[in-house]
Amino acid sequence: MSNEQSSAVEIQGLNFSYNGFMILQDVDLTINLRDFVSVVGPNGGGKTTLLKIILGLLKPTSGTVQLFGANPSKSKKRVGYMPQHAKFDFQFPATVMDVALMGRLGNSTRFGPYTKHDREICMHKLEQVKLAHSFRKSFASLSGGQRQRVFIARALACEPDLLLLDEPTSNLDQGIESEVYELFQELNRTITIVLVSHDLGFVSRYVKRVVCVKRRVVTHPTTEITGELINAIYGAPMKMVRHDRHDCEGTGSCHNF
């Protein structure tokens, strides 16, 4: 493995265009070890593209991407990824446990059946997303929110150093959503977490930094401000993004989110 580095993700001078359209432009982004980052931005702003570039699933048009100090193709196995849109075949014959176990590929033995250890790990991860009782159920029979939780468990089963989650809680009930974020916060003591979210008000209670993606990428620390106005809009105490003048210089676009 590579020598100990201080950052999980290091992006420099990155551009990405697709069919002649510039999706991401002049992106410099560092995500430190044990950072907890929320990626926000409008639809089509490039959030998912950014995650896929970090994973090496998409190749940047120009610029460099380092994942744990190495090329993403070398270090992608250290990431637990949860995709956003499930273009899955929902008639697929797999149980909840079958899907969770897929996270063990790459960690476990190269062929043959999964070990008892793999199953124990997956059972534990399913417990963490409150689905341990339905491990024998057909994945196809679950609700959208339950499927999302299975995918979170699958990402956790990778035992990753970086958890990369694309809208992990968009279908979850509020109660479960809070529990999931508390789980992330707990995990964040040892691993780095990057997640895409639409609900900035909710996630900023938990995350340390917010990355705004709208073709360009700007990073902000989260700072708590409470006020009647905010409460009126979001109906709950929350953190807001403080746009440091310094950070925003030259883009000025993040206020439009």
Q: Give the footprint of another protein on this chain (CB under 8 A).
A: 55, 57, 76-77, 79, 81, 83, 88-95, 98-99, 101-103, 105-106, 111-114, 137-141, 154, 158
Contacts of 153 (CB under 8 A, 6+ apart): 100, 103, 122, 125, 126, 128, 129, 131
Residue 39's φ and ψ, nearest 5 degrees, are -100, 120
CA dihedral 29, 30, 35, 38 (to 10 degrees): 0
Identify which of residues 115 and 226 has a Cβ nearer to another protein in the complex.
115
88/257 with CB nearer another protein: 88
Minimum distance of another protein from residue 121's CB (angstroms): 14
- b (16+ CB within 10 A) / e for 102-140: ebbeeebeeeeebeeebbebbbebbebbebbebbeeebe
- Nearest to another protein of 33, 102 (CB atom): 102
Nearer to another protein, 71 or 141 (CB): 141
Evaluate whether 81 touches 72 at the Cβ level (below 8 Å): no
CB of 106 to another protein, least distance (A): 4
Of 21 and 111, CB closest to another protein: 111
Residue in 36, 34, 32 with CA at minimum distance from that of residue 239: 36
Q: Is the dihedral of CA 167, 168, 169, 172 positive or negative?
A: positive
Q: Give just the sign of the alpha carbon dihedral 180, 181, 186, 192.
A: positive
| Minimum separation from the CB atom of position 250 to another protein (A) | 34
CB nearer to another protein: give 95 or 178. Answer: 95
Smallest separation (angstroms) from another protein to the CB of 110: 9
Smallest gap, in angstroms, from Cβ of residue 213 to another protein? 20
CB of residue 128 to another protein, shortest distance in Å: 19
